[in-house]
Homo-oligomer: A and B are copies of this chain.
Amino acid sequence: MTNNDINSYFKLCQELIDNTLNDWLPANDTEPTKLHSAIRYSVLSGGKRVRPVLVFATAEAFGLQKEQALAAACAVELIHAYSLIHDDLPAMDDDDLRRGMPTCHIKYGEATAILAGDALQAMAFEILCSYGEHSAIARLEMMKTLSIASGSQGMVGGQAIDLDSVGQQLCLDSLERMHNFKTGALIEASIVLGALSATITNDEVLTPLRQYAKNIGLAFQVQDDILDVTSDTQTLGKTQGADEARNKPTYPALLGLEGAKQKAKELHLDSLKALDQLGQFDTFRLAQISEFIISRAR
Protein backbone atom coordinates (compact mmCIF):
# COMPACT_ATOMS: atom_id res chain seq x y z
CA MET A 1 0.00 0.00 0.00
CA THR A 2 2.79 2.42 0.95
CA ASN A 3 4.58 1.63 -2.29
CA ASN A 4 1.43 2.23 -4.29
CA ASP A 5 0.93 5.51 -2.50
CA ILE A 6 4.41 6.87 -3.26
CA ASN A 7 3.97 5.89 -6.89
CA SER A 8 0.75 7.92 -7.06
CA TYR A 9 2.52 10.82 -5.42
CA PHE A 10 5.34 10.70 -7.95
CA LYS A 11 2.80 10.53 -10.76
CA LEU A 12 0.94 13.57 -9.43
CA CYS A 13 4.17 15.55 -9.09
CA GLN A 14 5.36 14.45 -12.52
CA GLU A 15 2.14 15.60 -14.18
CA LEU A 16 2.30 18.95 -12.46
CA ILE A 17 5.92 19.60 -13.41
CA ASP A 18 5.50 18.28 -16.95
CA ASN A 19 2.43 20.44 -17.57
CA THR A 20 4.08 23.51 -16.10
CA LEU A 21 7.29 23.10 -18.09
CA ASN A 22 5.27 22.35 -21.22
CA ASP A 23 3.42 25.64 -20.76
CA TRP A 24 6.44 27.66 -19.77
CA LEU A 25 9.13 26.52 -22.23
CA PRO A 26 9.18 28.35 -25.58
CA ALA A 27 7.17 26.51 -28.26
CA ASN A 28 8.83 24.40 -30.94
CA ASP A 29 8.02 27.05 -33.54
CA THR A 30 9.64 29.89 -31.56
CA GLU A 31 12.84 31.06 -33.27
CA PRO A 32 15.43 29.56 -33.21
CA THR A 33 13.19 26.55 -33.80
CA LYS A 34 15.83 23.81 -33.83
CA LEU A 35 17.19 24.97 -30.49
CA HIS A 36 13.75 25.13 -28.90
CA SER A 37 12.83 21.71 -30.31
CA ALA A 38 16.00 20.26 -28.80
CA ILE A 39 15.21 21.90 -25.46
CA ARG A 40 11.64 20.58 -25.37
CA TYR A 41 12.74 17.14 -26.58
CA SER A 42 15.26 16.85 -23.74
CA VAL A 43 13.16 18.35 -20.95
CA LEU A 44 9.78 16.80 -21.78
CA SER A 45 10.92 13.23 -22.44
CA GLY A 46 9.72 11.83 -19.15
CA GLY A 47 12.27 11.33 -16.43
CA LYS A 48 11.62 10.53 -12.80
CA ARG A 49 11.50 14.19 -11.70
CA VAL A 50 13.09 13.21 -8.40
CA ARG A 51 14.34 16.74 -7.74
CA PRO A 52 10.96 18.47 -8.26
CA VAL A 53 9.32 15.73 -6.13
CA LEU A 54 11.79 16.63 -3.34
CA VAL A 55 10.98 20.33 -3.73
CA PHE A 56 7.24 19.61 -3.49
CA ALA A 57 7.50 17.18 -0.58
CA THR A 58 9.67 19.61 1.39
CA ALA A 59 7.39 22.56 0.70
CA GLU A 60 4.39 20.44 1.74
CA ALA A 61 6.11 19.51 5.01
CA PHE A 62 5.86 23.21 5.86
CA GLY A 63 2.22 23.55 4.89
CA LEU A 64 2.56 24.76 1.27
CA GLN A 65 0.64 23.49 -1.74
CA LYS A 66 2.76 22.00 -4.54
CA GLU A 67 1.68 24.85 -6.83
CA GLN A 68 3.35 27.34 -4.48
CA ALA A 69 6.74 25.68 -5.02
CA LEU A 70 6.65 25.46 -8.81
CA ALA A 71 9.33 28.08 -9.50
CA ALA A 72 11.86 26.11 -7.45
CA ALA A 73 10.70 22.73 -8.81
CA CYS A 74 11.04 23.87 -12.43
CA ALA A 75 14.40 25.55 -11.82
CA VAL A 76 16.06 22.48 -10.30
CA GLU A 77 14.67 20.25 -13.05
CA LEU A 78 15.97 22.57 -15.78
CA ILE A 79 19.44 22.53 -14.20
CA HIS A 80 19.25 18.73 -14.03
CA ALA A 81 18.07 18.53 -17.67
CA TYR A 82 20.95 20.73 -18.88
CA SER A 83 23.47 18.65 -16.95
CA LEU A 84 22.20 15.43 -18.57
CA ILE A 85 22.51 16.90 -22.08
CA HIS A 86 26.09 18.02 -21.45
CA ASP A 87 27.07 14.82 -19.58
CA ASP A 88 25.92 12.75 -22.57
CA LEU A 89 28.13 14.65 -25.06
CA PRO A 90 30.87 12.74 -26.92
CA ALA A 91 33.60 14.66 -25.07
CA MET A 92 32.02 13.69 -21.74
CA ASP A 93 30.23 10.35 -21.12
CA ASP A 94 29.50 9.83 -24.85
CA ASP A 95 26.05 8.29 -24.34
CA ASP A 96 23.69 7.59 -27.23
CA LEU A 97 20.68 6.64 -25.15
CA ARG A 98 18.78 8.46 -22.41
CA ARG A 99 15.41 7.37 -21.06
CA GLY A 100 15.22 4.86 -23.89
CA MET A 101 15.55 7.55 -26.56
CA PRO A 102 18.44 9.02 -28.59
CA THR A 103 20.35 11.61 -26.57
CA CYS A 104 20.08 15.27 -27.54
CA HIS A 105 23.32 15.41 -29.56
CA ILE A 106 22.43 12.21 -31.43
CA LYS A 107 19.10 13.69 -32.46
CA TYR A 108 20.01 17.36 -32.96
CA GLY A 109 23.79 17.41 -33.37
CA GLU A 110 26.51 18.32 -30.94
CA ALA A 111 26.46 22.11 -31.37
CA THR A 112 22.72 22.32 -30.74
CA ALA A 113 23.05 20.04 -27.71
CA ILE A 114 25.73 22.27 -26.18
CA LEU A 115 23.56 25.35 -26.79
CA ALA A 116 20.39 23.65 -25.51
CA GLY A 117 22.19 22.90 -22.24
CA ASP A 118 23.50 26.46 -22.03
CA ALA A 119 20.06 27.93 -22.65
CA LEU A 120 18.44 25.62 -20.09
CA GLN A 121 20.78 26.85 -17.39
CA ALA A 122 19.80 30.45 -18.14
CA MET A 123 16.12 29.43 -18.16
CA ALA A 124 16.45 27.87 -14.72
CA PHE A 125 17.50 31.23 -13.31
CA GLU A 126 14.93 33.08 -15.38
CA ILE A 127 12.02 30.98 -14.08
CA LEU A 128 13.27 31.37 -10.52
CA CYS A 129 13.21 35.16 -11.04
CA SER A 130 9.75 35.35 -12.47
CA TYR A 131 7.42 32.42 -11.78
CA GLY A 132 4.87 32.35 -8.94
CA GLU A 133 4.58 34.42 -5.79
CA HIS A 134 7.73 34.86 -3.73
CA SER A 135 9.38 37.85 -2.09
CA ALA A 136 12.49 39.23 -3.77
CA ILE A 137 14.50 38.16 -0.72
CA ALA A 138 13.25 34.56 -0.93
CA ARG A 139 13.97 34.40 -4.66
CA LEU A 140 17.44 35.79 -4.13
CA GLU A 141 18.18 33.19 -1.46
CA MET A 142 16.97 30.46 -3.85
CA MET A 143 19.17 31.81 -6.66
CA LYS A 144 22.19 31.88 -4.42
CA THR A 145 21.60 28.32 -3.27
CA LEU A 146 21.00 27.05 -6.80
CA SER A 147 23.92 28.88 -8.42
CA ILE A 148 26.39 27.58 -5.84
CA ALA A 149 24.96 24.04 -5.95
CA SER A 150 25.21 23.85 -9.72
CA GLY A 151 28.63 25.47 -10.11
CA SER A 152 32.30 24.55 -9.94
CA GLN A 153 32.10 23.56 -6.29
CA GLY A 154 28.82 21.74 -6.78
CA MET A 155 27.34 19.74 -9.65
CA VAL A 156 29.77 20.85 -12.39
CA GLY A 157 32.72 20.34 -10.05
CA GLY A 158 31.48 16.80 -9.39
CA GLN A 159 31.32 16.04 -13.09
CA ALA A 160 34.89 17.32 -13.46
CA ILE A 161 36.08 15.05 -10.64
CA ASP A 162 34.11 12.15 -12.15
CA LEU A 163 35.81 12.57 -15.55
CA ASP A 164 39.23 12.80 -13.96
CA SER A 165 38.65 9.61 -11.97
CA VAL A 166 37.70 7.30 -14.85
CA GLY A 167 40.14 4.39 -14.83
CA GLN A 168 41.51 5.45 -11.43
CA GLN A 169 41.29 3.56 -8.16
CA LEU A 170 39.19 5.78 -5.90
CA CYS A 171 38.86 5.04 -2.21
CA LEU A 172 35.41 5.15 -0.63
CA ASP A 173 35.98 8.67 0.73
CA SER A 174 36.92 10.07 -2.68
CA LEU A 175 33.98 8.34 -4.35
CA GLU A 176 31.65 9.79 -1.74
CA ARG A 177 33.13 13.25 -2.15
CA MET A 178 32.66 13.08 -5.92
CA HIS A 179 29.00 12.07 -5.58
CA ASN A 180 28.35 14.71 -2.92
CA PHE A 181 29.37 17.27 -5.52
CA LYS A 182 27.95 15.64 -8.64
CA THR A 183 24.44 14.65 -7.56
CA GLY A 184 24.31 15.49 -3.84
CA ALA A 185 24.63 19.25 -4.26
CA LEU A 186 21.58 19.59 -6.51
CA ILE A 187 19.50 17.19 -4.40
CA GLU A 188 20.36 19.22 -1.32
CA ALA A 189 19.51 22.42 -3.18
CA SER A 190 16.14 20.96 -4.19
CA ILE A 191 15.26 20.39 -0.56
CA VAL A 192 16.57 23.77 0.59
CA LEU A 193 14.65 25.47 -2.24
CA GLY A 194 11.49 23.64 -1.14
CA ALA A 195 12.00 25.03 2.36
CA LEU A 196 12.82 28.53 1.06
CA SER A 197 9.61 28.45 -1.00
CA ALA A 198 7.86 28.20 2.38
CA THR A 199 10.09 31.03 3.71
CA ILE A 200 11.90 28.65 6.05
CA THR A 201 15.34 30.16 6.64
CA ASN A 202 16.33 29.17 10.18
CA ASP A 203 19.21 26.78 10.65
CA GLU A 204 17.43 24.65 13.26
CA VAL A 205 15.25 23.45 10.40
CA LEU A 206 17.64 23.76 7.47
CA THR A 207 20.47 21.81 9.12
CA PRO A 208 18.49 18.56 9.65
CA LEU A 209 17.02 18.99 6.17
CA ARG A 210 20.53 19.23 4.74
CA GLN A 211 21.53 16.08 6.65
CA TYR A 212 18.51 14.27 5.26
CA ALA A 213 19.44 15.52 1.79
CA LYS A 214 23.05 14.38 2.01
CA ASN A 215 21.98 10.89 3.02
CA ILE A 216 19.35 10.40 0.35
CA GLY A 217 21.60 12.02 -2.26
CA LEU A 218 24.27 9.44 -1.62
CA ALA A 219 21.70 6.63 -1.30
CA PHE A 220 20.38 7.63 -4.71
CA GLN A 221 23.84 7.23 -6.19
CA VAL A 222 24.54 3.91 -4.47
CA GLN A 223 21.23 2.58 -5.82
CA ASP A 224 22.14 3.89 -9.31
CA ASP A 225 25.40 1.97 -9.16
CA ILE A 226 23.59 -1.16 -7.95
CA LEU A 227 21.05 -0.92 -10.79
CA ASP A 228 23.84 -0.49 -13.34
CA VAL A 229 24.99 -3.98 -12.29
CA THR A 230 21.67 -5.75 -11.60
CA SER A 231 19.18 -4.27 -14.08
CA ASP A 232 18.93 -4.41 -17.87
CA THR A 233 19.14 -1.71 -20.53
CA GLN A 234 15.42 -1.71 -21.29
CA THR A 235 14.37 -1.22 -17.68
CA LEU A 236 17.02 1.45 -17.08
CA GLY A 237 16.37 3.38 -20.29
CA LYS A 238 20.12 3.79 -20.54
CA THR A 239 22.95 1.40 -21.32
CA GLN A 240 23.27 -1.26 -18.60
CA GLY A 241 26.80 -2.01 -17.43
CA ALA A 242 28.02 1.34 -18.76
CA ASP A 243 29.90 2.20 -15.56
CA GLU A 244 31.84 -1.06 -15.54
CA ALA A 245 32.53 -0.83 -19.28
CA ARG A 246 34.04 2.62 -18.71
CA ASN A 247 35.98 1.38 -15.70
CA LYS A 248 34.19 3.93 -13.53
CA PRO A 249 34.57 3.65 -9.78
CA THR A 250 31.27 2.42 -8.23
CA TYR A 251 29.99 1.27 -4.85
CA PRO A 252 29.51 -2.37 -5.93
CA ALA A 253 33.08 -2.36 -7.27
CA LEU A 254 34.39 -1.07 -3.93
CA LEU A 255 32.05 -2.80 -1.46
CA GLY A 256 30.69 -5.75 -3.42
CA LEU A 257 27.01 -5.93 -4.36
CA GLU A 258 25.86 -6.94 -0.86
CA GLY A 259 28.04 -4.30 0.76
CA ALA A 260 26.56 -1.67 -1.53
CA LYS A 261 23.03 -2.74 -0.65
CA GLN A 262 23.92 -2.53 3.04
CA LYS A 263 25.37 0.95 2.48
CA ALA A 264 22.15 2.12 0.83
CA LYS A 265 20.13 0.81 3.78
CA GLU A 266 22.35 2.62 6.30
CA LEU A 267 22.05 5.89 4.41
CA HIS A 268 18.28 5.47 4.34
CA LEU A 269 18.20 4.96 8.13
CA ASP A 270 20.44 8.00 8.67
CA SER A 271 18.10 10.09 6.55
CA LEU A 272 15.20 9.06 8.82
CA LYS A 273 17.24 10.01 11.90
CA ALA A 274 17.70 13.50 10.44
CA LEU A 275 13.94 13.78 9.91
CA ASP A 276 13.39 12.84 13.56
CA GLN A 277 14.78 16.27 14.47
CA LEU A 278 11.88 17.89 12.58
CA GLY A 279 9.17 16.36 14.75
CA GLN A 280 6.85 19.34 14.60
CA PHE A 281 6.55 19.13 10.80
CA ASP A 282 4.86 16.54 8.63
CA THR A 283 7.85 14.77 7.09
CA PHE A 284 5.96 11.60 6.13
CA ARG A 285 6.50 12.13 2.39
CA LEU A 286 10.19 12.80 2.82
CA ALA A 287 10.57 9.52 4.72
CA GLN A 288 8.63 7.73 2.02
CA ILE A 289 10.80 9.21 -0.72
CA SER A 290 13.93 8.05 1.09
CA GLU A 291 12.58 4.50 1.09
CA PHE A 292 11.59 4.80 -2.56
CA ILE A 293 15.11 5.88 -3.52
CA ILE A 294 16.75 2.70 -2.25
CA SER A 295 14.00 0.34 -3.46
CA ARG A 296 13.42 1.69 -6.98
CA ALA A 297 14.11 -0.57 -9.96
CA ARG A 298 15.19 2.14 -12.42
Residues of A within 8 A of B (CB): 26, 30-32, 34-36, 39, 82-83, 86, 89, 91-92, 109-112, 114-115, 117-119, 121-123, 125-126, 129-130, 135-137, 139-140, 143-144, 147-148, 150-154, 156-157, 159-161, 163-164
Q: Are A32 and B123 in contact (CB under 8 A)?
A: no
Q: Are A86 and B129 in contact (CB under 8 A)?
A: no
Known A-B contacts: A32-B160, A122-B151. Give 6 more (CB < 8 A): A32-B157, A34-B164, A35-B160, A122-B148, A122-B152, A123-B147
Shortest CB distance A132–B (Å): 13
Q: Are A126 and B148 in contact (CB under 8 A)?
A: yes
Give Cα A35–Cα B151 distance, bound, in whole angstroms.
11
Give Cα A39–Cα B153 distance, bound, in whole angstroms.
12
- Listed from nearest, the 4 A-B pairs whose CB atoms lie closest are A122-B151, A91-B110, A119-B152, A126-B147
Give Cα A143–Cα B144 distance, bound, in whole angstroms.
11
Sample (14) of A-B pairs whose CB atoms are under 8 Å apart: A31-B161, A35-B156, A86-B114, A112-B163, A114-B114, A119-B152, A121-B121, A122-B150, A123-B147, A126-B144, A135-B136, A136-B137, A136-B139, A143-B143
Q: Are A136 and B147 in contact (CB under 8 A)?
A: no
